[in-house]
Structure 1
Amino acid sequence: MTLLRLEQVTRTVELPDAEPLHILRGVDLEVEVGDHVSIVGRSGSGKSTLLNLLGLLDEPTSGRLVFDDVPLERMRSGQRDRRRGRDVGFIFQQFNLLPGRSAIENVVTPLLYAPPAQFWRRRRLAADMLDRVGLGGRLDALPTQLSGGEQQRVAIARALVRGPRLILADEPTGALDVETGERVMALLDQVAEDSGAALITITHDRNVAALARRHYRLDAGVLTPTDADVAVGATVPVGTSAAAAPSPVAPAWPAASSPPVAMPSAFPGERL
């Protein structure tokens, strides 16, 4: 079943006193439910612009974007916002956790705008998701008390807690060391597969791209399907063999080095 489809999508920006800037050129892409797609490309290739379109944050200049059989042009602004909040989860290179809020408070945040069935169970849902990513013993830890890998796992839990149908991961391991990044991606891939969500990973990291089942390259706004070897090889630094890239490993997280720190369980003036 097709979840997301782009047909000859372009994105052009008009510049004052200059030629128009063509960021995306005739992009075709079809993503199935439960799919895992990687898109690799250098800086300036149009990856961020494509991510904004896939996440219903922007509109194409021309072409067609269809999400769950509904063309984007038929969605009113409010409908698009509600669909994005319900069906799309974002994971970024920077963790973007709320400072001064515990892990569970960060994961609860998307549920504050959820339907009643999720809203009234928000702490239970958040705790269950954190346990699923291996942080069941760190619910009350602040971001400053978590390692980089733990913070990214909190961000993953936050993106998945509402059960999105599409997960967009933008350089999700860019702020992590190689070993931690591999574990985070193996975890994300497994959780997405278990939940039946489609996962699109936008990256220039060969190890991250290798986990996907389908691969694309984005060059100067042109999206081209390719095979794993080409996609992975395209991201290897000069002088490095693609075959030398380490294989992804299953998540095997060490026990927390310190016990969880008890913190307030609610935002000021509100019980979560």
Structure 2
Amino acid sequence: MPLLELEGVTRVVPIPDDEPLRILSGVDLVVDAGEHVSIVGRSGSGKSTLLNILGLLDEPTDGSITFDGVPVRRMSSADRDRRRGREVGFIFQQFNLLPGRTAVENVATPLLYAEPRRFWRRRRLALEMLDRVGLANRAEWMPSRLSGGEQQRVAIARALVRNPRVILADEPTGALDVQTGQSVMQLLDSVAHDTQSALVTITHDPAIAALADRRFRLDGGILHAEQPEAVR
């Protein structure tokens, strides 16, 4: 069963004293467990809007979304919030680490709202995840002491510490050099495969998009599937 399924998803935003702005038009997308899907598109093409819909932050104007077999329209607002907090991991280009907390404290932050069993083990779980991303020796370092690539790996550990079913990465390598960016994507692919999570990468970089199992291009709010050789 697909983890994410979008059918005919449209997003239209009303504009005062003007025509409504159509951001997405009839988007169809299916993402399976353990699969990496990439979506490329120019600035303003609707990538962030699509990511917000996939992450249960926004609702479409028309169309349907199914999350792990459950139609999103049947969920209450509280149900969506709980599912997003429990099962969706967001990774952004800007690391958004808390400057006054160590790497392990940053990674443990999402577990402050976890069930008691994971809440009381939050430091241990955070340390295990930092070890997974190769930063066990940086656990007590403040973000200001970490390189850009290390900060991004801390942000990845923070997003993955809850074992999300869906990982949404918005320009995760945009602030990194090429070599570090490739390393970050290999890490995400490995984690998604090992945990059977769905990984969706939103990027403007064709080289990063080419690392995915399937690739799509968002152009004028319309999602097009691309063949591997078309991504250059």
- Structure 2 distance, partners of 1:52, 1:129, is 25
- Structure 1 distance, partners of 2:112, 2:19, is 44
Post-superposition CA distance 1:83-118 (Å, at most 9, x none): 000100000000010111100000000000111121
User: What letter is aligned with 1:15?
Assistant: I
In the other structure, the counterpart of 1:215 is 215
1:193 offset after TM fit, Å? Answer: 1.2
- Structure 2 distance, partners of 1:144, 1:207, is 29
Q: Find the residue that maps to 2:179 and give its secondary structure.
A: helix
Instruction: Using CA pairs under 8 Å that are at least 6 residues apart, name the structure with larger relative contact order, 1 or 2.
Output: 2
Is the 1:99–1:143 contact (alpha carbons within 8 Å) kept by the matching residues of 2? yes
1:226 offset after TM fit, Å? Answer: 1.2
- Structure 1 distance, partners of 2:15, 2:66, is 28
In the other structure, the counterpart of 2:89 is 89
Is the 2:130–2:154 contact (alpha carbons within 8 Å) kept by the matching residues of 1? yes
Please, which runs of 5 or more residues in structure 1 have no aligned partner? Answer: 234-272
Post-superposition CA distance 1:45-87 (Å, at most 9, x none): 0000000000000000001011011111111111100000010
Post-superposition CA distance 1:194-242 (Å, at most 9, x none): 1111100000112211110011110010001111221x22xxxxxxxxx
| TM-score (normalised: structure 2) | 0.98
- Structure 2 distance, partners of 1:165, 1:155, is 17
User: What letter is aligned with 2:15?
Assistant: L
- Structure 1 distance, partners of 2:145, 2:192, is 26
In the other structure, the counterpart of 2:169 is 169
Please, which runs of 5 or more residues in structure 2 have no aligned partner? Answer: none
Structure with the larger helix share:
2
In the other structure, the counterpart of 2:183 is 183
Superposition pairs of residues 130-209 of structure 1, within 5 angstroms: 130-209=130-209
Is the 1:182–1:207 contact (alpha carbons within 8 Å) kept by the matching residues of 2? no
In the other structure, the counterpart of 1:244 is none
- Structure 2 distance, partners of 1:174, 1:83, is 28
Q: Find the residue that maps to 2:169 and give its secondary structure.
A: strand
Is the 2:35–2:192 contact (alpha carbons within 8 Å) kept by the matching residues of 1? no
User: What letter is aligned with 1:75?
Assistant: M
In the other structure, the counterpart of 1:9 is 9
Q: Find the residue that maps to 1:64 and give its secondary structure.
A: strand
- Structure 2 distance, partners of 1:119, 1:19, is 49
Task: Give the number of equivalent residue pairs.
Answer: 232
1:183 offset after TM fit, Å? Answer: 1.0
In the other structure, the counterpart of 1:70 is 70
Q: Find the residue that maps to 1:2 and give its secondary structure.
A: coil
| Runs of 4 or more consecutive aligned structure 1 residues displaced over 4 Å after TM superposition | none
Superposition pairs of residues 226-265 of structure 1, within 5 angstroms: 226-230=226-230, 232-233=231-232
- Structure 2 distance, partners of 1:187, 1:224, is 27
Is the 1:104–1:123 contact (alpha carbons within 8 Å) kept by the matching residues of 2? yes
* CA RMSD, 1 decimal: 0.7
User: What letter is aligned with 2:137?
Assistant: G
| TM-score (normalised: structure 1) | 0.84
Q: Find the residue that maps to 2:138 and give its secondary structure.
A: coil
User: What letter is aligned with 1:51?
Assistant: L
- Structure 1 distance, partners of 2:228, 2:117, is 41
1:180 offset after TM fit, Å? Answer: 1.1
Post-superposition CA distance 1:118-160 (Å, at most 9, x none): 1111011000000000001110001000000000000000000
Identity of aligned residues (%): 70
